[in-house]
Structure formats: C-alpha cells, structure tokens
Structure 1
Amino acid sequence: MTASFTRRVLCAGIAGLFAGAPLLAAAQSPAANFPNKPIRIVVAASPGGTSDILARTIGQKMTEKWNQPVVVESKPGADSNVGADYVAKSPNDGYTLLLLDVSTLTMGPSLYPKLSYNPRADFAPVTTIVFSPHALTAFGGLPANNLKELIAYSKAHPGKLNFASSSNATRLAAARLNLATGMDMQVVPYKGGAQAMTAIAGGESNLTMASLLSTIPHLKNGRIKAIAVASERRMQAEPNIPTLQESGVRDFVTGSHQGLLAPAGTPPDIVKKLNAVVVEILRSPEVSAKLVGQGAEVVADTPEQFGTFLREETDKWSRVVKEANVKIE
C-alpha cells in the first residue's frame, strides 16, 4: 500500500465523518423528537377571558398538528403574577408554556418592585399572538350611552363611578382616562376579565375596560353596553362602536397584547419549532378570520421581534407609571 493511497483513504474517512456531522447534530437536537409528551399552556388569568379563549383555540390546533395533547391550565391571581411565576420556575424543556396579557411583564416591574421572578430574564419569548383594543363598557342600567354623557354623569356624581380592573393594562388605562377626561373613576381590582364582566353585568361595578375579543360575547344580552373602543379606527368586528379618539380623547390607543412564552433556557430549536407551529395556526384562514371577527388583530411575529417589543414596552410603561404617579394600594 503506497503512502499516497493511505493519505487518500484517511482523507476520505475524515471527509465522511464531517459530512455525517450535520445529521448527527440533527439527531441530537432537543427539537428532533419534540414534542413526545403532553404540553401545558398555563393561562395566567381566570377561565373565560381573552387568554383562556386564545389558549384553547391554539391548543386544539396544536394537538391536531402534533398528535400530542395540549392541556390548558388556569393559574390566576396577583395581576397574573401567580401564573407567570409558576412558569418562570418550570422546567425549560418546552412542555410548559405561558400565555398572558404581556402587560403583566411590561408594566409589572414598575408597579411591583418586589416581584418573585424577573420579567426580563426568566422567559424565552415565542410569539405575540394578537392585539385586541380595549373596549370601554358600562353596566346596562347606567344612564350614559356615550363618552360625553359618561363624563357629564361623572362630574354630576363625583366619586360615585367605580371601574372594575382586571390587569395592569386596564388599571393604567383607567388612570389615563381619568386624566384625559377629568372623570373620577375609582378602581376596584378583580382577579380576571371574566369576573370584571360579571361585576358589570350585575351592576356591582359601573365600568370596565377589557379586550374587544373578550367583550363582544357579553354585549348581546343588553346587561353590558359599549361606550367606545380604544383603537385608532373602528373595528371590523363591531363597526358601530366609536373610538375614544372620535369621542374626543386624542391619542388614546390601548389594548391587550397576548403573548406566548417559555421558561428562560428553553433550547432555541424548540422555541423556533413552537413559534413555527403557532404562527402557522394563527395565519391559517380559519383561525385568522375567526379572531378578526371576534375583535382581534393577528400579530404572529418572531421570537426576536417579540423580545424587542417586550423590552420597548417595559421601558415605555416605566416612564408612564412615573409620570402618572400610579401606585398599587
């Protein structure tokens, strides 16, 4: 055997090893066999609200696509911080996910300086699911049917209007609306949007703001009426509801950005796989049309885009909380 023949054999063997390396890496990737057991989507709010509706819609489609059960589990409490803390401390293997109004993460650090988890560091963003503007709604028996009448009623009855708040976002929206209109709404906290709506329907509270997506089902029985929607333009799902801007409140756009996250340290390949399937579900004609008809706008962005959004929103709301001097009692 010549020296040149030996060198050719060695080179060919080494080349073969390197050629097989990508296949070996793929086989060893954590995402290769993901998912091979049930997935849990933890909703950081009570059943019946926006997050719950979205989790069940997405979970059902994920089950169909992956042939693995996707279980929705509600963990409400402490302005959604109970559920967020639970997922932050869960195994980072992609099998426990968090779905919530992202105001918990972006406003929480300014409102709750001593959180038991780190909103910036403890999560791996997967995707922003939807944006649904807040709808300002009132008890059906309240003698005010538009914003002008509501402001007049508030001034005629100082300190009498109370506002059912179910999230950081709605609490700050109420504070902004008080400042913008001169109203004096007293904020009363509730565990979730469903409880706030029940309080409005029964006359226990006068007003609330919740995502249009979770509001629409409650407008049909007449016990709750819509005053305005906090979007730039009227929404396709409810074109008869005027915007707050039309009603005289300039530059007032607020709402619910719902997001899906995994615990920090979840392998990037698994995060990408989760993102791909959820984006595919959200952009499908069936789901997209359903969500638009319910009062939401599909976002379905990348993990990187979602991460940038969270950072920017956290910085923005930190300034708002300081300027408005908002404090949690």
Structure 2
Amino acid sequence: MIPFPPGGPTDITIRLLAQKLSERWSQPLVPEYRPGANTIIGTEAVVKSAADGHTLLFTVDSTVTTNPSLYAKLSYDPMRDLAPVTLVAWTPLAIVVKADTGPKNLAELIQFARANPGKVNFSAGSITSRLTGELFKRQLGLDVVLIPYAGARAVEGLLSGDINFLIAAASTVLPFIKSGRFRALAATGGQPIRSMPGVPTVAEAARLPDFDSAVWIGLFAPARTPTEIVAQLHRDIVQVIALPEVRERLESIGVEPETKSPAEFSAFIRKETAFWSQLIRQSGFRVE
C-alpha cells in the first residue's frame, strides 16, 4: 500500500523494491495507491488489514512522526497499530535558490533575510520540508514567511520568482541544479548529500551543530503481525537494498538507501516523533 499518488522518486524507490521482492518471493507484489488526507487514507487501510504479511505499508516519515500531532482525530496510533519493519531510504532535503538571481551561499541568504524581516518567503511541498523551514527560521531567529504550495507547485514558485528560496527533496531539485536553473545552498540533514558534492550542511554553513532534518521512507506491517514474518520481511528488504543495481539506481535519483532492524527503527521513530511533536506544539504549526 502506497498512501500517496504515483510519480516522483519515492514512488520509483517503492516500485523498484517491489519488483525485486517479487522476484525473490516468486509472487507478484503489486503497488496499490490510496492517496489522500496526508497519507491517512492509505495508512488506515493497512491498519485494518489482516496481520499476515500480505498487506504492507510503504510510506514517508510524516505518516507516523507528525500526523499524530497535526490531526486531533487521527483514527490510528502509529506505534500501536503498525509494526515497523525497516527504514528503507533517506530522501535528503536541500535549501535551493534561483541560480541567476539568488544568494551565492547560505550565509548570504541568512543575511538577506535578517535585513528584510517579514519580506523574505519560501516554499516547501511536504510536511517534513515545511517543518524543516520552521526549524530553520526558529533556530536562526529569522522572520521569513512560508508560502504553502502543494507538491511540485513549490518548484514552480521558485522558477517563477514568486518565492525567494525553496526547501525540497534533493531528488526533486537535482535536475534543475544540473541544468543550471537552481543553486543548492545547503543540505538540511546531518550529512552532505551524495548527489550534491561540495554543498555544505546547514549545521556547517549556519553554525547550527544539531540541525538535522530529512525525509525518510519506511516499511510497515499491521500490528500483531507475527514477529517471524516481520523478521523475514526485514531480512529480504535488507538483502534487496544491498544489491549494487538497486543502490546505484536509488543514488542516481538522489535517494540514499539505509536500513535499520525493527527494534532500531521503532526507537528511531519514537525519537523523531518526540522531536517533531515538540516543535509543532511550540510553533503552533498547522496543516494548510
């Protein structure tokens, strides 16, 4: 189950893994799309499915880490109703500007924002990228305005000059960087982006040592799925992700594969949820 529409690097990642798992299992693993309500509709379908390993959820971080804080009437509790199988990959985020008119580096962008409080705007298409923008402006004390374009329209906003900078997945903006239309100023995660050599992290460029935010993709099963099935799913996905052709394909589109054990993944989700829920409470962030 995929709780968002087809298309884009995350979908490519999931389809590639589904293909390889189908080959390994000698049976088809068919992606079913149930988009809507910020991944809630598709997630609810998995939560209500039989816990037999035949219905799985491939989704992004916000499904389990931020939706519980953003939706008061959420019908499921991610940690109660889903069984984490493994982290699959990271989709790193980058701060980008127009190459011809934008700042040359992150320091220039910060300086410009401080000189023009309330007049600098940015966009971000996903929940995590928008929260990354909130974290960025709060930690630096900047008065910048979020323009909440949906999905790919955020890129259009930067292309048209309607916004000053964009926070988006590296996989989304990489083609525009390669064509010379965008310039990457910084990676928002804790590590540089492999597909953007020479681009510093926000932690380095803005001297914010703890700044670390990126989108991730994970695999989940319904709660009460037998531990032996979860363990087998984990082993199979780890082996698939280790295949050179899989890693090469993912890295070519700006996606960085990484796995965790079910226990590690559960602990990681709890830590992420605590971090983002605190920021949401403190900032008053709401879904537009």
1:208 corresponds to which residue?
A: 166
1:19 corresponds to which residue?
A: none
In 2, Cα distance between equivalents of 1:311 and 1:122: 14
Identity level (%): 37
Q: How does 1:3-82 map to 2 (within 5 A)?
A: 42-82=1-41
1:228 corresponds to which residue?
A: 186
Q: CA deviation at 1:55?
A: 0.4
In 1, Cα distance between equivalents of 2:48 and 2:69: 21
Q: How does 1:147-186 map to 2 (within 5 A)?
A: 147-186=106-145
1:246 corresponds to which residue?
A: 204
In 2, Cα distance between equivalents of 1:50 and 1:279: 19
In 1, Cα distance between equivalents of 2:78 and 2:52: 19
What TM-score comes out, normalization by structure 2 length?
A: 0.86
Higher RCO (CA-CA < 8 Å; seq separation 6+): 2
RMSD of the TM alignment (CA)?
Answer: 2.6
After superposition, give the CA deviation of every residue in 1:98-132 in whole Å (9 maximum; x if it has no partner). 22222321122222222132222121111101223
Evaluate the alpha carbon distance shift between residue 75 and residue 157 of structure 1 in structure 2; reply closer, same or farther with a 3 A threshold.
Answer: farther
Q: CA deviation at 1:312?
A: 2.4
1:284 corresponds to which residue?
A: 243
Aligned to 1:270, the other structure's residue is in SS state helix
When Rg is computed on C-alpha atoms for both structures, the one with the higher figure is 1
Evaluate the alpha carbon distance shift between residue 73 and residue 233 of structure 1 in structure 2; reply closer, same or farther with a 3 A threshold.
Answer: same
Match of 1:315 among 262, 271, 274: 274
Deviates more, 1:119-128 or 1:77-86: 77-86
Match of 1:326 among 269, 285, 288: 285
1:109 corresponds to which residue?
A: 68
* Count, aligned residues: 287
Q: CA deviation at 1:279?
A: 0.8
Evaluate the alpha carbon distance shift between residue 188 and residue 45 of structure 1 in structure 2; reply closer, same or farther with a 3 A threshold.
Answer: farther
After superposition, give the CA deviation of every residue in 1:288-329 in whole Å (9 maximum; x if it has no partner). 244345444432222222122222222232233333443445
Structure 2 portions without partners, runs of 5+: none
8 Å Cα contact 2:65-2:272 kept in structure 1:
yes
1:33 corresponds to which residue?
A: none
Structure 1 portions without partners, runs of 5+: 1-41
What TM-score comes out, normalization by structure 1 length?
A: 0.76
8 Å Cα contact 1:91-1:263 kept in structure 2:
yes
Match of 2:97 among 124, 129, 138: 138
Q: CA deviation at 1:268?
A: 2.9
